[in-house]
């Protein structure tokens, strides 16, 4: 078993009984090829929850500061996460993200860039649109519908892939493309909450 598989099993054993996941739409997830997985961000537990419920291993972009935390930094590096400098155009992180997608893996992003204090969906950053436009990856929206309360159901919804044909043919901007992605996440939240 890989370290990723081991970590996923441990997280599942710990978190599943507490948060009683209801996972919807797993069948919308492509079984192979590059996937850009974009989810809303309501809690620090979102990355492990998506990691447990997604049908394939997810490579997350994570804020650089987490990699400097003893033990945690080592663990997240070993579960395919890689650092991004927040608030800057981090070229190295963008290159790494594109390479993850090109190699046919799943790149996990929280387009808002930070957790929502209110639980409401915030504005998405241009990074999601950048990866969607610059790669041939399938874009899958994901809604985490909480709040996180022990022994209450937590929904994780994987939506149908977003059709970006028009965005690519009309040379839509990264910001507008991110907005398309955020709209898809918003629709999932409104449909399943």
What is the number of structural domains in the chain?
Answer: 1
Question: pLDDT at position 166, please?
Answer: 87
User: Residue 146: which H helix or E strand, with range?
Assistant: none
Which residue range(s) make up the domain with 28? Answer: 3-192
User: Closest by alpha carbon to 140, among 63, 77, 50?
Assistant: 50
**pLDDT score, position 1:** 81
Q: Are residues 133 and 192 in contact, defined by beta-carbon separation less than 8 angstroms?
A: no
pLDDT digits (tens, 9 = 90+) for 78-89: 999 999 887 667
Per-residue model confidence as pLDDT tens digits over 31-41: 999 999 999 99
- Token pair 């799943």 is found at 106
Q: What is the CATH number of the domain that holds 152?
A: 3.40.1130.10
Residue 119: what pLDDT?
Answer: 84
Instruction: Please state the rounded mean pLDDT for residues 76-100.
Output: 89
Region of 150 (left: φ > 0; alpha: ψ -120 to 50; beta: rest) is beta
Instruction: Tell me how long the chain is.
Output: 193
Q: What is the pLDDT of residue 86?
A: 73
């Amino acid at each position: 078993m890989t370290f990723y598989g081991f970590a996923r099993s441990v997280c599942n054993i710990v978190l599943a009984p507490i948060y009683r996941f209801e996972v919807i739409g797993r069948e919308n997830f492509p079984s192979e090829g590059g996937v850009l997985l974009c989810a809303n961000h309501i809690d620090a537990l979102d990355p492990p929850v998506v990691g447990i419920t997604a049908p394939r291993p997810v490579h997350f972009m994570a804020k650089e500061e987490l990699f400097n935390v003893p033990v945690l930094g080592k663990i997240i590096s070993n579960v395919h996460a890689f650092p991004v400098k927040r608030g800057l155009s981090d070229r190295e992180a963008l290159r790494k993200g594109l390479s993850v997608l090109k190699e046919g893996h799943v790149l996990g992003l929280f387009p808002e860039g930070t957790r929502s204090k209110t639980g409401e969906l915030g504005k998405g950053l241009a990074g999601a649109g950048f990866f969607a436009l610059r790669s041939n990856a399938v874009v899958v929206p994901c809604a985490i519908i909480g709040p996180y309360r022990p022994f209450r159901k937590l929904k994780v919804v994987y939506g149908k892939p977003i059709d970006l044909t028009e965005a690519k043919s009309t040379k839509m901007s990264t910001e507008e493309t991110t907005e398309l992605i955020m709209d898809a996440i918003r629709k999932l939240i409104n449909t399943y909450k």
